[in-house]
Amino acid sequence: VSTIYDVAREAGVGVGTVSRVLSGSPNVAPGTRLRVQAAVERLGFRPTPAARALRRKRTDIIEIVVPLVTRHFYVEALRGIETALANTNFTLVIRTIERESDRDRVFDRVGVRGAADGVLIVSLLPTPELTKRLQADQICAVLIDAEANGLSSVAVDHATAGRRAIQHLLDLGHRQIALIDSPEDLFSAASRAGRLDGFREALAAADIRPPAAYEQVAEFSPEGGAAALAALLEIEEQPTAIFVGSDAQALGVLEAARAHGREVPEDLSVVGYNDIEVARYAGLTTIHTPMREMGRRGAAMLLDLLAEGDATARRERIEPELVIRRTTGPAKQFAEALEA
Amino acid sequence: VSTIYDVAREAGVGVGTVSRVLSGSPNVAPGTRLRVQAAVERLGFRPTPAARALRRKRTDIIEIVVPLVTRHFYVEALRGIETALANTNFTLVIRTIERESDRDRVFDRVGVRGAADGVLIVSLLPTPELTKRLQADQICAVLIDAEANGLSSVAVDHATAGRRAIQHLLDLGHRQIALIDSPEDLFSAASRAGRLDGFREALAAADIRPPAAYEQVAEFSPEGGAAALAALLEIEEQPTAIFVGSDAQALGVLEAARAHGREVPEDLSVVGYNDIEVARYAGLTTIHTPMREMGRRGAAMLLDLLAEGDATARRERIEPELVIRRTTGPAKQFAEALEA
DNA sequence: TTGTAGGCGTTATCAG
DNA sequence: CTGATAACGCCTACAA
């Protein structure tokens, strides 16, 4: 439609002047500025982002990669990011990885110099190639809800979270405490390791050595949780409490428990992880991982990095919070002991 | 960070040839193509989107405007859009309007020629200025879950939805049926009018003339719903069923009903609207407005428009579906009559 | 304070 | 089939 040349002609000035007015340069005579602004207005002129980006070597674009995977959970991060970016004039480009097979295709297009100034990666582990490219091309990047060597990140301290969950169960008098978690995969960015550490440490500190079978690995889904519970109920000394590495699985555990004739929390206590939206309605006691807050902090960190041109990786850790609801209760022996 | 000149040098060809290889032109000798591809690989070359966009006058960007407003509901549209765009190489730019005050600022930046090839507007009514600009600049745009003159759209047929909701209540024997809806505002893109029509038509067809006070307008929130219910309970002839224009309000109605000592559905039937995620957990009977599907269809339509360069506005209507859950039941008199 | 001109990285045209 | 070369729209020295 129109270019700065049109505006220049309309205002009777040179393109340089128009450009200066547009970028708010102080070196413009007040009267000239007014004339130019009027011309801009009259023509409805908008600078072409592509031309501007080409020339300035800055796109004003922040790219974000999210696993949209039908999980409302991740959208929270988006909200936080959006909040942090609202008052800047960065444009938000969003790339989603729905299936594991999308990953390489998406990662290959992400953080390409000249396509975006910065990248935010949510709940996903970048491949070594991506990491290398980001570093080589000096693209500012921040991981949210994930951590990786050499990259900045904002993430939950999963070990602390695990310890808290277990401590809560210990406080309720439980001694037979099991763990159900998913295998490390693309969509569970290294959180398992931390949780496992927390689980083991807390139990060790209480002088409890759970049998190996108490550490179940299950598919990330309600069905996975249900299957793991079934396995746990096969064990001679059955657990009275279970810490589950994701609410999705925990929900399956809850359902399966009922199917097996176990009352929750009377016969079995269950602690989930993440505090997804449904957790509230299911009354699930769980670890709240504050995605929105992490999104906000991650975006803020990226803006910082961008502003300072600082390349050294920063790492922020967020304290998770235990949300106690209705799926955890005192262990039976413990309750009886209290009565006596 | 290399340019096609670097690649050209590396491959021992001219930049034109590199460009041709990159864009898959058939007019390249096989051997040359291979050499160029090897050079591209070696240098890790990626064409700069800005330069490409500038030259081609095409950004390969689709912009989407959503009210993110803490409502999971809208994200569903995003999912559908994402699905439709997954196999194209369009980049998705997302702009969110969180508060009413964001609107003008965001709309002003949206659909700027040279910034995006097409625009998707979700659950929002564009201002006349935006509409005019989009048309003047020949920007392809599709409204999702909204309709406006001169613009393409994919939306629910709200009148049909209203009729269905009411018919369901009539079938249950209800005769005192009230309506609670929100005022038309930025975030309820003209759906109210359709619902109201459906409400009135269905009742008229059943020879029922509800008192004027049966049509309540309330704030879009649980509190709004609760307040409207309170008002309804003041009326002499109290309704036995209520059709509520949004699940958010309906949830408030449910809660308030309990507070007022009304059992749902024994004393009062409630039908919501939208089928937001929580509706399922609340057991709310509601109209399912398929956001994901609309997102998908809207994006598909935009792709079509873009491909055909067709400017005439298309309009697609989607049939809503009534999801019967636990907040609707037979009217008392009706139940008794059946027994007798 | 202002205008002019060169160049950002591509693509497309046009000779060869 | 291939190589120069001229735009694309903007910003920014630099000169005036």
Phi-psi domain of A147 (left: phi exceeds 0; alpha: psi -120 through 50; beta: other): beta
Hey, which bits of chain A come out as E strands?
Answer: 61-66, 91-96, 118-122, 140-144, 152-156, 177-181, 215-217, 241-244, 269-274, 285-288, 315-318, 321-323
Residue in B46, B91, B96 closest to A82 by CB: B96
pLDDT of residue A179: 98
Q: Residue A246 is encoded by which pair of tokens? A: 């994701």
Classify A102 in phi/psi space as left (phi over 0), alpha (psi -120 to 50) or beta: alpha
Q: How far is B10 from chain A (nearest CA, A)?
A: 20
Name the closest residue on chain B to residue A106, using Cα atoms: B86
Reported as a pLDDT band with limits 50, 70 and 90, residue A245 is: very high
Give pLDDT, residue A189. Answer: 67
Please tell me the predicted confidence (pLDDT) of residue A261: 95
Residues of A in contact with B79 (CB under 8 A): 68, 70
Measured in angstroms, what separates residue B243's CA from nucleotide C5's C1'? 68
Residue A280 has pLDDT above 90, yes or no: no
Could you say which DSSP state residue B237 is in? S
Residue of B nearest to A139 (CA): B1
How many angstroms separate the CA atoms of A295 and A317, rounded? 13
Per-residue confidence (pLDDT) for residue A304, from 0 to 100: 95
Question: Which residues, in sequence order, are bridge partners of residue A93?
Answer: A63, B93
For testing contact with chain A, the best of B3, B4, B43, B46 (most A CBs within 10 A) = B46
pLDDT value of residue B70: 62
Mutation target among B112, B129, B134, B280 for the A interface, most CBs of A within 10 A = B112
What is the Cα–Cα distance from B183 to B188, expressed in whole angstroms? 8
Does residue A6 belong to the interface with chain B, where contact is any CB pair within 8 Å? no
pLDDT band, very low/low/confident/very high, at A191 (cuts 50, 70, 90) = confident
Q: How many CA atoms lie within 13 A of A249 on its CB side?
A: 27
Distance, in angstroms, between A301 CA and closest chain B CA? 20
Contact call for A94 and B98, based on CB within 8 A: no
pLDDT, position B13 = 95
Nearest to A328 by CA among A169, A152, A208: A169
**Three-state secondary structure call for residue B310:** coil
Quickly state the pLDDT bin for A72 (edges 50, 70, 90).
confident
State the pLDDT at residue B187.
65
**Chain A closest CA to B16's CA: distance in Å?**
20
Q: What integer pLDDT is reported at residue A75 of this predicted model?
A: 83
pLDDT tens, position by position, A248-263: 999 999 999 999 999 9
Question: Rounded CA gap, B19 and B38, in Å?
Answer: 14
So what's the pLDDT on residue A80?
94
Indicate yes or no: CB of A82 within 8 angstroms of CB of B98: yes
D9 C1' closest Cα residue: A51
Chain A nearest-CA residue for B91:
A93
At residue A188, the pLDDT reads 63
- pLDDT tens for A112-131 read 888 999 999 999 989 999 99
- Looking at residue B185, its pLDDT comes to 76
**What six digits make up the tokens of B22?**
């990159």
Specify the DSSP element, H or E, that contains B120: strand B118-122
pLDDT in tens, A209-224: 999 999 999 998 999 9
Q: How far is the CA of B12 from the C1' of D2 (A)?
A: 12
**Looking at beta carbons, which residues of chain A come within 8 Å of B102?**
86
Q: Between the CA of residue B1 and those of B19, B61, B85, what are the distances in Å? A: 17, 22, 28
Scan for tokens 């034109």, then name that residue: B16
Nearest nucleotide to the CA of B31, by C1', is D1
- Residue B20 (CA) to nucleotide C11 (C1'), in angstroms, measures 9
Show the tokens assigned to B295: 């997102």
Torsional sign, CA A150, A154, A160, A166: negative
DSSP 8-state secondary structure symbol assigned to residue B213: G
**B174 vs B140: CA distance, rounded Å:** 46
**Residue appearing with tokens 């989407």:** B64
A23 touches chain B (CB under 8 A): no
Claim: this prediction has a pTM higher than 0.85: yes
- Select the residue of A50, A95, A282 nearest B114 (Cβ to Cβ): A50
A242 Cβ contact list (under 8 Å, min separation 6):
A177, A178, A179, A180, A229, A232, A253, A268, A269, A270, A271
CA distances from A240 to A178, A258, A260, B276 (A): 8, 14, 14, 35
Asked if B50 and A59 come within 8 Å (Cβ–Cβ), the reply is yes
Name the residue with the least CA to C1' distance from nucleotide C13.
B16
Q: pLDDT tens digit string along A23-71?
A: 999 999 999 999 999 999 999 999 999 999 999 999 999 999 998 766 6
* Residue A102: predicted pLDDT: 86
Give per-residue pLDDT as tens, A95-104: 999 888 888 8
The spacing between the Cα labelled CA in A94 and the C1' in C8, in angstroms, equals 26
The pLDDT assigned to A208 comes to: 96
Computed on alpha carbons and rounded to an integer, the radius of gyration of chain A in Å comes to: 26
pLDDT tens track of chain B, all 340 residues? Answer: 799 999 999 999 999 999 999 999 999 999 999 999 999 999 999 999 999 999 999 999 999 999 876 677 788 899 899 999 998 999 999 999 988 888 888 999 998 888 999 999 999 989 999 999 998 888 999 999 999 989 999 999 999 999 999 999 999 999 999 999 999 876 666 688 899 999 999 999 999 999 999 999 999 899 999 999 999 999 999 999 999 999 999 999 999 999 999 999 999 999 999 998 889 888 999 999 999 999 999 999 999 999 988 778 999 999 999 999 999 999 987 767 777 6
Smallest CA–CA distance, residue B1 to chain A, in Å, is: 7
